[in-house]
Amino acid sequence: MNARGGVHGRRIQHVVADDGYKVDETVRLTRELLQRSDVLSLFGFAGTANIGKLLAEGVLEQGGAALVAPYTGGENLRTPFNPWIFHLRAGYADETEHMVQQVTTLGMRRIAVMYQEDGFGQAGLEGVRAALARRKLPLSVAAGYERNTDKVEEAVKRIMASDAQAIIMISVNKPTAAFVKRYREAGGGAQLYNISVVDPAEIVKLAGLRNAHGLGISQVVPYPYTPRLLAVREYQDLLKRYAPDQQVNYTSFEEFLGAKVLVEGLRRAGPNPTRGKVIEALESMAAFDLGGVTVGYSPQNRVGSRYVEVTVIGSSGKLLK
């Protein structure tokens, strides 16, 4: 967008602050950013617990700025309704419902959860519990691990003892890979799934292809590797032009779509945008086509999409639909 002169003749400046996935740092850095009068919106934050703390402490409300396309599907960031967060992705409840639907359709009834012991993990765990309850099925076992670690030995032991047929992991890259490796090397044969926040290439690298092969990963945006959609073609072209050393992946494609939402919000906010005008502009996007991917917001709705599909790590290490 800046290469074409910006929005209404004004270039967009993207300020990046690294919170190290630490909740208190998220709060501190966000407060600092919102004290700047030139900050019109927040974009792409990660972490259910991190963003939940911003809500709990009133940081977003006090700042009055929209947070667009956060990298989380936590239900506590969606319910009860808050006007500050514009979600691009489906929630963890949508993802876990889709996975439970798939495994139960295949005749599996013994389902376990491996989860991160924080707001992120709890959100996914509750999604699985609710999906199973709708089918009148019990959860075989829920085994947690400590946030910011890959200490999964106890989780492996507990889940092995449960004789689960399917395991849904609510976890990030390193503990996911550690669990997959140790569970498979211990002889575990259940079908493994993880929600959309993991990078399959990193899982294969850390766990080994033999162990990672067959891992199902839910996704909340369309397949970015084949340029069938206009949005995917645009994403691949821009990635090649501006970040030629980076590989196509779901994470960057999701945030690319989120950036398109934010830029459209800035465009609709007019030549003299304010934080409030950006929020009103985003609310006006009832059915906005990002290039074969449609999102919708309103004064009563902040969840742009409920799209979910499951991909699988294939025998070559690549993701398959």
Burial class of residue 143 in the structure, from the number of CB atoms within 10 Å of its CB (0-12 exposed, 13-18 middle, 19+ buried): buried
Which pLDDT value is given to residue 6? Answer: 76
C-alpha 226, offset from chain centre? 21
Q: Which residues of 221-239 are buried (b: 16+ CB within 10 A; e: fewer)?
A: bbbbbeeebebbebbbeeb
Residues in contact with 44: Cβ distance below 8 Å, sequence separation at least 6, in sequence order? 68, 69, 70, 71, 255, 258, 259
Query: Average model confidence (pLDDT) for the chain?
Result: 95
Element (H, E) at 150: none
> Which residues share a beta bridge with 46?
71
Residue 169 pairs with which residues in a beta bridge?
114, 194
pLDDT of residue 11: 87
Mean pLDDT of 211-239: 97
Query: 11 versus 310: which is more confidently predicted?
Result: 310
Which tens digits make up the pLDDT trace of 161-205? 999 999 999 999 999 999 999 999 999 999 999 999 999 999 999
Position 194 scores a pLDDT of 97
Tell me, what amino acid is at 55? Answer: L
Confidence bin at 84 (pLDDT 50/70/90): very high
pLDDT attached to residue 1: 67
d(CA 291, CA 238): 14
pLDDT mean over 22-41: 96
Q: What are phi and psi of 59, to 5 degrees?
A: -65, -45
| pLDDT of 263 | 96
pLDDT reading at 3 higher than 80: no
Interval 216-225 mean pLDDT: 96
pLDDT for res 78? 93
Which residue carries 């047929």 as its tokens? Answer: 165
Contact 269, 7 (CB under 8 A): no
Measured CA to CA, the distance from residue 136 to residue 75 in angstroms comes to 22
Which domains, from first to last, does the chain contain? 2-90+227-295 (3.40.50.2300), 92-219 (3.40.50.2300)
Torsion angle (degrees, nearest 10) of CA 197, 202, 208, 213:
50
Give me the residue label for tokens 């966000």: 30
Percent of all residues in the chain with a pLDDT value above 90, rounded to a whole number: 93
Q: Which of 9, 64, 78, 77 is nearest to 36 (CA)?
A: 64
Describe the crossing of helices 250-268 and 275-283 by its angle, rounded to 10 degrees. 110
Under 8 Å between Cβ of 283 and 264 = no
Instruction: Indicate the residue type of 149.
Output: T
Strand pairing class (41-43; 294-295): unpaired
Q: Per 3-state DSSP, what percentage of the chain is helix, strand, and coil (rounded to 5)? A: 45, 15, 40
Whether the Cβ atoms of residue 45 and residue 53 lie closer than 8 Å to each other = no
Read off the pLDDT of residues 265-290 as tens digits, 9 standing for 90 and up: 999 999 999 999 999 999 999 999 99
**pLDDT reading at 226 higher than 90:** yes
Instruction: Tell me how far apart the alpha carbons of residues 43 and 295 are, in angstroms, rounded to a whole number.
Output: 16
Give me the percent of the chain exceeding a pLDDT of 70: 99
Q: Is the pLDDT of residue 223 over 80?
A: yes
Give the mean model confidence (pLDDT) for residues 291-299: 97
Checking DSSP bridges between strand 85-86 and strand 111-116, what pairing results, if any? unpaired
Q: Is the pLDDT of residue 230 over 70?
A: yes
The band of 321, judged by pLDDT with boundaries at 50, 70 and 90, is confident
Asked if the model's pLDDT at residue 155 lies above 80, the reply is: yes
Q: Phi and psi at residue 311, in whole multiples of 5°?
A: -110, 170
Residue keyed to tokens 């993207």: 14
Which amino acid is it at 118?
A: D
